[in-house]
Structure 1
Amino acid sequence: MLINKIRLLVQAFSFLILTYGGRIGINLGYALPCFACPYVAGCGGYCFLMFLQRVGIFGIAAYDRIFTYIGLQNLLWFLIFAVSAIILSKFWCGWICPFGSLLDALSGLRKKMGIREIEFSWTVRTMIKPIKYIFLAVILVVPLLIAFLGLSSDFYILFCKICPARPIMPIFAGDIRRFGLEYSNWSTLIISIVSVSFAAITIVGSFFKDRFFCMVCPMLPLIHLFNKLSPVRFVKWADGCSGCGNCQRVCPMDIREVHLEKKNGMVMTEDCILCTQCMQACPENNVLKLQFFNKNIFISSRDYFIKKFKKAVGRKNE
C-alpha cells in the first residue's frame, strides 16, 4: 500500500476522533499539539494553544491578574504537550491535525478539478513565514498584558478568537454561528471581523495553495522546540543525492533546505509537517529516510518512485 493511502486513513480516523469523539465519551484533554478546536461541540480533545493562553506562560492567569498556583493538573498538561510533541513530532501536523486534514482535502479538490496550484515567489514565501512568530508572540504576550497592564478582557484568548479554525471547524458539528459578527463593543466587533476575514482568506487560499495556513501556524515552532529530543528522524544521505530537485517541487510547505543540504544527517526543518511527499518523489535509493527510534518507517527508492510515477501517468491518460 502506498504511504499516501496510509496517511489518508490516519487523517480520516484522527479527524473523526478529534471532531466527534466527545460525543462517545472520548476526551484527550487540553494539550494536543494540533488544531483540534474546542469551539466544536462534542470534540474529542483540543489544541494546547487555548490552554497556554488561559493559564499563561509561567502559570499567569490573564483573567485574574495574579500568579496562580500552577498545581499538578496544569503542570500535567504542560508535560503531556511536551511528551506528545517529543514522541510524534510533526506527525501531529501532517497526519493527525484535523484542520490540516481539511486543508489537504481542499487541495485535493483543486487537483481533482485540474486547477493548478498558485506558486509564491521565494521573496513572498520569506515574507510570509515570520507571521507564525507574530502569532506566537500574541499567544505568549497578550495574557501578560491582560494580567499586569490592564488590557481589556475582550482580548482574552485572542489568538483563538482570530484563528480560522474557530469559525470553520464548528461547521462540521452543524454550527455556523462563529461566522457572525459580535457587536458588544468596538474591540469585539474588530476581532470578529478579523476572525471572519481570516477564515475566508484561509478557505480560499487553501484551495489554491497547499497547506496555506500551515505556513503561518504557531504550533510549528512550538513542536520544533522538542525536535532534538524526538525519536522521529528525517534523515538525508546527501552523498547519494542526484540534485534533481523533486523534493523541493512537491513540498506543500515550500521547503528547499532538503534539496540544498549537502551533508548527511537530519533535514527536518521547523516548517516540515512530515507528509513524506519529498521522500516519495525522490528517485534515488536510501537518500531520504523517515525513522522512529532508529527504525526505518519509509525510505526513498527508485522502485517506489517509478511505481508512483506510473500510477500518476495512468490517471493523466485516462
Structure 2
Amino acid sequence: MVDNLRSLIQTLMFVFWTYGGRAGVNLGYSVPCFSCPYVSGCAGHCYLMALQGQWSLAFLFSGLLSYKSFKVVLYFLLFVLLAILLSKLWCGWVCPFGTLQDWLAQLRKRLRIRETEFSWKTRERLKPVKYVLLALLITTPLLITFAGLHRDFYLLFCQICPAKPIMPLFVGETRNLALDYTNTITLTFSVLSLTIAAVTLVGSFFKDRFFCLFCPMLPLIQMSKKISFIRFEKKGHTCLGCGNCQRMCPVDIRDVHLEKREKNVMSEDCMLCLRCIESCPEDSALTVKFFNYNIFSSSRRYVAKNYQQGKSANG
C-alpha cells in the first residue's frame, strides 16, 4: 500500500534530517520543510529561518550587488527550485515535524480514540492564521531595521515555533525547554514557545496534522503550483461524487471532491499523502504526475484489492 511506503519514507527522512548533519550532510538554508535549525547536527535548515533573517528590504537597500543581497536571492531561488521539484511531497513525505504529527495520530488510532472534528466554519476561520504568521516573518526584520523594534524580536517565528523546543529532544537537547529570563521580551517568547509546543502536541494527538493548519510554509510552497514538476490532476467527467477522497483526507480537504472544472486540484492545504487517490474507485479519475509521467493513479481494482485485504485482516 502507498500509505505503508509513505510511512517508511517518512521515517527515513526523519532520521536523515535529524541526524544527517552528524554524518557531514548539510543541505543549507533553503529546505522547504521543518528541519529545525535548533537541532544540533540537522541535515539542513528550514527556509523560514533564512526568510526572517535575510529576506529583508534592508539588505537590498544596502546594495543590490552586495554579498548579503546575493545570499538573499540565492537562498530564495534554491527554495523555489526545491518547491518546484517536489511541491507538497515536502509536507506529506519529507517534513520531520509533519512525521511527528502523523506518529501522534497513529498512537491515537491504536488507542482507539476518536479524532476531533472541526466544522468547515472553524476551518475557514483558522485559515488566515498561516498568512498572518507569514506576514510577521517578512515584516519583523523591516520593523527592526526601520522602526526601531527591539532586536529581541529577531527570528520571531522561530522563537515561538513549536518545533524549537520539541525537535531537539530527539538528539537529547533540553535547553529550549528552559525559560529565558534575560528580559520581559525573551521571557514572554519562551513561555509562548512552550505553550504553543504543548498545544501542538495535544492538538496533533487529537487532530491529524493539527499544526499544518497554521503552517506558513504551505502558502510559500503553493506559489510553485503552476510550474511545479509535481501535478495532482482530476478528470472531472469521470468523478461520480462518492466523496471517498474527502472522507479519507487527513486534513479535511473537500476541494478535490467538489472540483469539476479545474484539472490541477493541488489545494493549499494538500500534503500529497495520496490517500484520496488510494480510496478513489474510478480508474484514472485522480492522478499524481511528475512532468507528464504518471506516478500513481486511482484504480477500481486497487480499491477492491485493499478492501479485500482489510476484510481478511479483520477476520
TM-score grouping bracket, smaller chain normalisation: over 0.9
Q: Separation in 2 of the partners of 1:314 and 1:39? A: 46
Deviation track 1:186-222 (CA, whole Å, cap 9, x = no partner) reads 1111111111010000000000100000011000000
Counterpart in the other structure of 1:168: 166
Counterpart in the other structure of 1:54: 53
Pair 1:211-2:209 in alignment: yes
Q: Separation in 2 of the partners of 1:30 and 1:81? A: 9
Q: Amino acid of the residue matched to residue 255 of structure 1?
A: I
Counterpart in the other structure of 2:129: 131
Q: Separation in 1 of the partners of 2:312 and 2:194? A: 41
Range moving further from structure 2, 135-144 or 171-180:
171-180
How much does 1:73 deviate? 3.7
Q: Separation in 2 of the partners of 1:306 and 1:171? A: 42
Indicate the SS of the match to 2:182: coil
Asked if the contact 1:56–1:144 (Cα under 8 Å) also holds between the matched residues in 2, the reply is no
Counterpart in the other structure of 1:43: 42
Deviation track 1:52-109 (CA, whole Å, cap 9, x = no partner) reads 1111234639xxx966823544432221111000111111111100100111111111
Counterpart in the other structure of 1:19: 18
How much does 1:124 deviate? 0.7
Q: Separation in 1 of the partners of 2:310 and 2:40? A: 39
How much does 1:312 deviate? 3.2
Deviation track 1:12-33 (CA, whole Å, cap 9, x = no partner) reads 1211111100101000111000
Q: Separation in 2 of the partners of 1:239 and 1:264? A: 11
Q: Separation in 2 of the partners of 1:189 and 1:56? A: 26
Indicate the SS of the match to 1:37: coil
Counterpart in the other structure of 1:226: 224
TM-score normalised by structure 2 residue count: 0.95
Distance 1:32 1:209, change over 3 A: same
Pair 1:6-2:34 in alignment: no
Trace 1:1-318 onto structure 2 (pairs within 5 A).
2-58=1-57, 60=59, 69=66, 70-263=68-261, 265-315=263-313, 317=314
Indicate the SS of the match to 1:166: helix
Q: Separation in 2 of the partners of 1:123 and 1:257? A: 15
Deviation track 1:123-169 (CA, whole Å, cap 9, x = no partner) reads 11111111100110110111100010010011000000000000110
Q: Separation in 1 of the partners of 2:58 and 2:79? A: 15
Q: Separation in 1 of the partners of 2:22 and 2:53? A: 24
Q: Separation in 1 of the partners of 2:310 and 2:126? A: 31
Q: Amino acid of the residue matched to residue 240 of structure 1?
A: T
Indicate the SS of the match to 2:226: helix
Indicate the SS of the match to 2:44: coil
Q: Separation in 2 of the partners of 1:309 and 1:143? A: 53
Asked if the contact 2:57–2:142 (Cα under 8 Å) also holds between the matched residues in 1, the reply is no
Asked if the contact 1:239–1:264 (Cα under 8 Å) also holds between the matched residues in 2, the reply is no
Asked if the contact 1:60–1:147 (Cα under 8 Å) also holds between the matched residues in 2, the reply is no
* Percent of residue pairs identical: 53
Asked if the contact 1:66–1:147 (Cα under 8 Å) also holds between the matched residues in 2, the reply is no
Deviation track 1:289-314 (CA, whole Å, cap 9, x = no partner) reads 00001110000011111222233344
How much does 1:284 deviate? 1.3
Indicate the SS of the match to 2:105: helix
Q: Separation in 2 of the partners of 1:16 and 1:157? A: 26
Distance 1:59 1:174, change over 3 A: same
Q: Amino acid of the residue matched to residue 298 of structure 2?
A: S
Deviation track 1:241-260 (CA, whole Å, cap 9, x = no partner) reads 11111111111121111000
Q: Separation in 1 of the partners of 2:279 and 2:117? A: 19
User: What value does the CA root-mean-square deviation take over the aligned residues?
Assistant: 1.6
Number of residue pairs the alignment of both structures matches = 313
TM-score normalised by structure 1 residue count: 0.95
Asked if the contact 1:60–1:143 (Cα under 8 Å) also holds between the matched residues in 2, the reply is no
Range moving further from structure 2, 68-77 or 34-43:
68-77
Q: Separation in 2 of the partners of 1:153 and 1:306? A: 59
Q: Amino acid of the residue matched to residue 174 of structure 2?
A: I
Asked if the contact 1:128–1:215 (Cα under 8 Å) also holds between the matched residues in 2, the reply is yes
Indicate the SS of the match to 1:291: strand
Q: Amino acid of the residue matched to residue 290 of structure 2?
A: F
Q: Separation in 2 of the partners of 1:58 and 1:105? A: 40
